Amino acid sequence: MSRIVVLAGSPRKKGNTDRLVDAFVKGVADRHDVEVISVHDYTVHPCKGCNICFSNTDHACIQEDDMPLIYDKLKKADIVVIASPVYFYGISAQLKAVIDRLHNPMRNEFAIRKLGLILVGGATLPELFDAIITQYRLTLNFFHLEDAGMVLVRGAREKGDVREEDLENAFRFGQSLG
């Protein structure tokens, strides 16, 4: 049994991203321990790039916010799934703040082996996800992580626009993590 952490980056509760995450969790929950972190529920300040965390013996950031809670959850994870709506060809600002704060030596304490991706965007452009997928692949390479898979949904702007087929794909993604 693996420990899976889903970093859900949508500020819109019960929207398309949350619905895809729920379907993913239903597909995986009977075989793995899953925790969904809705990053919008946490106060996480953007990284200042001061690198003080590299010189502090406990790698603590000088900012006082909720990021230590997220670090503690990630330290226990074997698999991380990033889920986000797509805004201007990028992930949500809330999720980006969390990811940027992983520029901290504390990440060396993580036991993460696999990384997955769930993205949903309102546009239908073929290149909608290209920039995010490039960053995702660079992260896989840099940290020597296995690609757990992706669910990419285009054309879902308004709440409820994800189709049953999209939800089924997210469910199957969860099931694929045997």
Determine the pLDDT at residue 131.
97
Each residue's pLDDT tens digit, 66-106: 999 999 999 999 999 999 999 999 999 999 999 999 999 98
pLDDT band at 38 (very low <50, low <70, confident <90, very high): very high
Phi, psi of 153 (to 5 degrees): -120, 120
Determine the pLDDT at residue 178.
75
Q: How far is CA 24 from CA 8, 79, 146, 175, in A?
A: 12, 13, 18, 8
CA distance 166 to 178: 20
CA distance 148 to 113: 9
Determine the pLDDT at residue 33.
96
Amino acid identity for residue 148 in this structure = A
Q: Taking residues 109-122, report their average pLDDT.
A: 96
Domains of the chain: 3-176 (3.40.50.360)
Determine the pLDDT at residue 130.
98
Task: Evaluate whether 129 touches 121 at the Cβ level (below 8 Å).
Answer: yes
User: How many other CB atoms are there within 10 angstroms of residue 172's CB atom?
Assistant: 14
Determine the pLDDT at residue 1.
87
The pTM of this model reads 0.95
pLDDT at 18 exceeding the cut of 90: yes
Each residue's pLDDT tens digit, 118-159: 999 999 999 999 999 999 999 999 999 999 999 999 999 999
